[in-house]
Amino acid sequence: MLPQYQMTGQASGELALQQNRVLRNTFMLLALTMVPTVLGALVGVQLQFSFFAGSPLMSFLLFLGIAFAFMWGIERTKNSGMGVVLLLGFTFFMGLMLSRILQVALGFSNGGSLIAMAAGGTGVIFFTLAGVATVTKKDFSFMGKFLFVGMIVILLAALANIFFQIPALALTISALATMIFSAYILYDVSRIVTGGEDNYISATLAVYLDVYNVFVSLLNLLMAFSGDRD
């Protein structure tokens, strides 16, 4: 019979291997999700797709309904290949949704540069915070409730601004979203590293949404402060 400390050591080693596997698979799948996202965005830009062309409120609620339906399906099938299929379908849909802000950005004379800067800034934020979570292995779960409240506040403020259309409020929402979802990257990667999330499909969905929202928020800020109209 193995001594207790050897059994404990083996269990710790197996847990560390599992966490590393989940982290590796998450990053690989996250990279893969960028492909349908870019394809969806390209299709949307070419077709001048606009989900919010009709009633902004109804379009916003419909978008939330479709997004939550996808996320529900992904969570239900996260232990099978169908989970990956639904995740990739969801990221294509999000790429289509992204096309609207890209069309607006491309309306600026420096639109291409703004998009590249937003993508670069998002990459820096992601790799920095993911690196901090991975290297330090610190548990950032204490941030969960604060971040959830912040996300709800942003969602309600965005819904309110559909009616009020206040530019200053829109900028405030984008600035807060950049901070909140950047912190969510730290939180979500930390959950993988510390064993709080053991399914790479669920983990990829969470980190993807963080990265997506950071990019959109950064692009909104860049357009407001650095955009040059033709």
Q: What is the pLDDT, as a whole number, of residue 8?
A: 54
Q: What is the dihedral of CA 33, 39, 45, 46, to 10 degrees?
A: -170
pLDDT tens track for 171-227: 999 999 999 999 999 999 999 998 888 899 999 999 999 999 999 999 999 999 986
Q: What is the total count of domains within the chain?
A: 1
Which residue range is the domain that position 93 belongs to? 4-226
- As a whole number of angstroms, the distance between CA 51 and CA 96 comes to 9
Distances (CA, A) of 116 to 35, 89, 102, 183, 226: 17, 24, 11, 22, 13
- What is d(CA 136, CA 188) in angstroms, rounded to the nearest whole number? 14
Q: Which amino acid is at 155?
A: L
* Residue entry with tokens 């959109």: 216
- Pick the more confident residue, 111 or 87: 87
DSSP letter string, 119-134: HHHHHHHHHHHHHHHH
Asked if residues 96 and 40 have their Cβ atoms less than 8 Å apart, the reply is yes
Which residues touch 69 (CB under 8 Å, ≥6 apart)? none
- High-pLDDT (> 90) share of the chain, %: 69
pLDDT tens readout for residues 88-139: 999 999 999 999 999 999 999 998 999 999 999 999 999 999 999 999 888 8
